[in-house]
């Protein structure tokens, strides 16, 4: 058989090479992909412990009720929170704000994991913000609570409680925010509303912390201020000159102490660690216990913490319900039917709250 022409031979010779090149390239690509996947898997596996450690070390954010100044509150709490961080194996950061409203908004935005709150704010945190009570503070006086006060200037223009109630329009009031139990809720419930005195009747209002309201009266910027026994004791230590200018003309029944609350989303084991730390804080013997007790004393003369659950908020729920009913009874309505409808809604909400608080669901 005659040999094919040169051109044909050249074409025939190239055919095998054209088929081999894609196969070789594909094999090489697969090998490179396998090496890359192996490297990525090794890197990911090596990073898992670090990622887990990072998750475990995420900070817990502690919100502080603004009882004095924000900076002062932060400084007072930081030693205890540093000890808490070491006990639970997580850093604890501090959120100290200037108002009840600011703290409530931070809780709503999910920026607070644990918080020190008084009755009404703790109640809202548990019933509306998916938190639960872990502990309740105790004080050295051994009482189960504290009392709201009305303060006036010694030798000032307002002579008595009777004069205040007789002509509220003459006097300048310094009070707490509406969520403040002793600065607003209890004075309204136990004094002003029963005497048909509303906050709007006063000549003027200053709204602030207990420290700010006491200073307002001491410095002549207000005639009367709401306050409480615990904060006024602290005020005497910090501002002795101003405190000597003040006297109390009214005090309330006992108000339960504040609570520590924590988000439900945290594991029960971590919540248990936090509770155990709080309950044991200041109870150790020796130098360590002495240092912790000194920290507690700087925190409004606290003696420590007792274990507590949501049922400890039942008194706060009763106070809030009573105040809401008083407001409904003294407000103007288009009809008596509208008033009764409002009262029925308040009673239904209160019944739901009580059932939820007593059924803690731990």
CATH placement of domain 60-143+258-311:
3.40.190.10
The CA distance from 316 to 311, in Å, is 10
Q: What pLDDT shows up at residue 190?
A: 94
Which residues are CB-contacts of 336 (< 8 A; sequence separation ≥ 6)? none
CATH architecture, domain 145-255 = 3-Layer(aba) Sandwich (3.40)
Confidence of residue 9 (pLDDT cuts 50, 70, 90): very low
Residue range(s) occupied by CATH 3.40.190.10 in the chain: 60-143+258-311, 145-255
Residue 38 has pLDDT above 60, yes or no: no
Residue 199 has pLDDT above 70, yes or no: yes
Tell me if 188 sits within 8 A of 323, measured CB to CB: yes
Q: Within a 10 A sphere around the Cβ of 279, how many other Cβ atoms?
A: 16
Confidence of residue 262 (pLDDT cuts 50, 70, 90): very high
The CA distance from 161 to 250, in Å, is 7
φ and ψ of 147, to 5 deg: -125, 145
Q: Span 187-209, mean pLDDT?
A: 92
Mean pLDDT of the chain: 85
């Amino acid at each position: 058989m005659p040999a094919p022409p040169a051109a044909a031979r050249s074409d025939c010779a190239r055919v095998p090479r054209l088929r081999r090149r894609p196969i070789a390239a594909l094999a090489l690509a697969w090998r490179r992909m396998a090496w890359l996947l192996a490297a990525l898997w090794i890197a990911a596996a090596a990073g898992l412990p670090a990622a887990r450690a990072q998750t475990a070390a995420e900070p817990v954010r502690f919100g502080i009720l603004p009882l004095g100044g924000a900076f002062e509150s932060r400084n007072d709490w930081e030693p205890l929170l540093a000890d808490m961080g070491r006990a639970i194996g997580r850093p604890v950061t501090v959120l100290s704000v200037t108002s009840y409203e600011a703290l409530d908004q931070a809780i709503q935005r999910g920026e607070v994991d644990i918080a020190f709150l008084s009755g009404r704010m703790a109640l809202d945190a548990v019933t509306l913000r998916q938190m639960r009570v872990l502990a309740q503070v105790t004080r050295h006086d051994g009482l189960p609570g504290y009392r709201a006060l009305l303060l006036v200037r010694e030798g000032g223009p307002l002579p008595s409680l009777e004069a205040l109630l007789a002509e509220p329009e003459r006097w300048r009031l310094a009070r707490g925010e509406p969520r403040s139990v002793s600065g607003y809720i209890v004075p309204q419930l136990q004094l002003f509303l029963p005497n048909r005195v509303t906050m709007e009747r006063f000549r003027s209002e200053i709204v602030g912390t207990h420290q700010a309201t006491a200073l307002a009266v001491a410095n002549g910027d207000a005639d009367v201020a709401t306050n409480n026994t615990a904060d006024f004791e602290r005020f005497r230590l910090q501002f002795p000159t101003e405190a000597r200018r003040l006297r109390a003309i009214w005090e309330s029944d006992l108000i339960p102490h504040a609570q520590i609350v924590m988000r439900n989303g945290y594991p029960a084991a971590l919540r248990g660690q936090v509770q155990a730390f709080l309950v044991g804080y200041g109870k150790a013997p020796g130098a360590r216990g002495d240092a912790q007790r000194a920290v507690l004393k700087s925190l409004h003369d606290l003696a420590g913490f007792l274990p507590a659950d949501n049922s400890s908020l039942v008194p706060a729920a009763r106070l809030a319900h009573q105040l809401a009913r008083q407001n409904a009874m003294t407000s103007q309505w288009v009809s008596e039917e509208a008033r009764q409808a409002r009262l029925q809604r308040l009673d239904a909400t209160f019944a739901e709250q009580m059932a939820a608080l007593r059924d803690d669901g731990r």
